[in-house]
Amino acid sequence: MKIGLAYDLKEEVPLNKEHPDDALEEYDSLETVEAIVSVLESQGHSVAKLSGGRKFADNVLQNSVDFVFNIAEGRGTYRSREAQIPAFLEMLDIPYSGSDPQCLALCLDKPLTKKIVQTAGIRTPRWQLITNKNELSELCRDSFPLPAFVKPAFEGSSKGVRLSGRVETNEQMGKVTGALLEQYHQPVMVEEFIAGDEVTVGMLGNFPPKIIGMMRILPRKRVNYFIYSLEVKRDWQNQVEYECPAQLEARILQKIADFSLKAFETLGCRDVARIDFKLDREGLPYFLEINPLPGLNPKSSDLPIMAAKMGWDYQKLVSSIFRAALERYPEHLSAN
């Protein structure tokens, strides 16, 4: 089977002059690309590296591929950017791994995602969307509960999620929100700060999906409150310990599992996703966000780390994602 690999390498993504220092955070390294290629080739497939952006458009038209394994994050600051490659593939009627354009566009929009999961009975922190400084003034007058956390509304990979994002006063909230509006050129979400542990859940498959692990992220040093921020993620080996399986009460684990399965299905995810929760001081889980295009760096991404702690090697993880996707296309499965 000839498989195309869609991806966006950090070094291939053009930047604007005044970009934030985390502008390339979501994009992949050559290490990730080569690791996935190695897994697919070990199963007897040939792999065409299709790249991303305009290169992808040219390459996919020039290569006659049977299937595309998609890890491309998309280009620009559009809230629908993760839907770019799947939408192009659907236009060409080429099967691919992962969620469809509608799901990917929806899940990158954090406020819209929260609205939808709330309708499904999934608990999520209170929040307010801010699109300009006038709305921020109104929020301050309305006394949004503090402390709060401020972050860009349409980003992933912890872009814009900094230690300074936790605010305790209206003055701090105004300063951080104003800076994010200017730097990221998109709305900002002000969210109720939940002070407990962070738990991330890995999910694979369809009909129904299965939870492969729940991982609690614990700071190595004692802190008054923990934020799994970009600063922490960039230095994760020194900053955090990953506890997987998460050592939590059975009732808490069951509620996280229930919320995870419901979120995956309600939002229309396929094949793979990672879901983030915060626990309050009583252990009640609050949905933060879902990533239907989780990072697959074999050494540093949360999902591969979680899978390894659950006894899965990298080959099994990537192969399982590929197999789950292929099973949605029975005509390709029977032919290969």
* Domains, in order of start, for the chain: 2-97 (3.40.50.20), 126-192 (3.30.1490.20), 195-326 (3.30.470.20)
C-alpha separations of 64 from 58, 129, 321 in Å = 12, 44, 22
Q: Which pLDDT score is estimated for 332?
A: 63
CA distance 301 to 108: 18
pTM of the model: 0.93
Q: Would you report the helix, strand and coil content of the chain in percent, each value rounded to 5?
A: 40, 20, 40
Return d(Cα 232, Cα 165) in angstroms, integer.
13
Torsion of CA 216, 79, 325, 318, to 10 degrees: -50
Where residue 224 falls (left for φ over 0; alpha for ψ -120 to 50; beta otherwise) is alpha
Closest of 130, 178, 123, 126 to residue 153, by C-alpha: 130
Q: What is the pLDDT of residue 334?
A: 54
- For residue 192, the SS3 value is strand
C-alpha–C-alpha distance, residues 1 and 183, integer Å = 44
Query: How many whole angstroms separate alpha carbon 63 and alpha carbon 70?
Result: 15
Question: What CA–CA distance (Å, rounded) separates 180 from 152?
Answer: 7
Asked if residue 294 has a cis previous peptide bond (ω within 30° of 0), the answer is no
Residues 267, 117 contacting (CB under 8 angstroms):
yes
In this prediction, the residues of the chain whose per-residue pLDDT falls under 50 are none
Helices 314-326, 302-309: crossing angle, 10 deg rounding: 110
Angle, helices 133-141 vs 170-184, to 10°: value is 160
Which amino acid would we find at residue 15? L
Per-residue model confidence (pLDDT) at position 305: 97
Instruction: List C-alpha distances in Å: 127 to 77, 156, 251, 281.
Output: 22, 18, 26, 19
